[in-house]
Amino acid sequence: MKSKYNKSGKSRGIYKDDSGVSPVIAVILMVAITVVMAAIVSSWSAGVKSPTTPTTVGLDISRSSTNITTVVTSIDPASAAPITNITLTYQYYNGTGFNPTSDYMLKADVGDSKSVDTNSTQIKQFIVIATFKDSSKKVLYSRET
């Protein structure tokens, strides 16, 4: 508090310095800001969708002479099954060069299998690519020799 004095040195009265903010108003403002920030974070997080692409696809790939057999052993999470398309691409040596060839597993689910005849024991590359329900693609297996 400040006092005002007149020229004679006598006090003319005491007045309060009201330049600060009341503690009650400060608390109300802090709570309001917190509520607004929580609403913003809540509305942002509600718009975030969880991915539909599986995190894991298990495959069992075996080779016998010129045949390669691919078996789907697991899809995690199970709600992502069936996989829209699994592309099996391989390159084999035909005597003069390498020829790329593809075969497909449509609507592949656990237990489904596909055998491809590579027509060669000298396969150069074998790639397995999955296309999921949300049209995303993921390389499940890639091997080059």
Domain match, 131 and 61 both:
yes
pTM over 0.85: no
Domain match, 131 and 72 both:
yes
Domain match, 34 and 11 both:
yes
Domain match, 27 and 65 both:
no
Cα 128 to chain centroid distance, Å, stands at 21
- Our count of domains for the chain comes to 2
- The CATH number given to whatever domain includes residue 61 is 2.60.40.730
Domain match, 84 and 135 both:
yes
pLDDT of residue 35: 95
Residue 25: strand, helix, or coil: helix
Q: Can you give the pLDDT of all 145 residues of the chain as single tens digits?
A: 555 555 665 555 566 666 666 888 888 999 999 999 999 888 887 776 666 556 688 899 988 888 889 999 988 887 777 888 899 988 876 667 777 888 888 988 889 999 988 777 777 788 899 888 888 888 988 887 6
Q: Which residues pair with 4 in a beta bridge?
A: 13
**Is residue 19 assigned to a domain?**
yes
**Is residue 51 assigned to a domain?**
no
Q: Which domain holds residue 35?
A: 2-46
Q: Which residues pair with 131 in a beta bridge?
A: 85, 137
What dihedral angle (degrees, nearest 10) is formed by the CA atoms of 107, 110, 111, 114? 40
Task: State how far the Cα of 3 lies from the Cα of 60, in Å rounded to an integer.
Answer: 90
Domain match, 70 and 135 both:
yes
Domain match, 90 and 123 both:
yes
Domain match, 19 and 60 both:
no
pLDDT of residue 81: 79
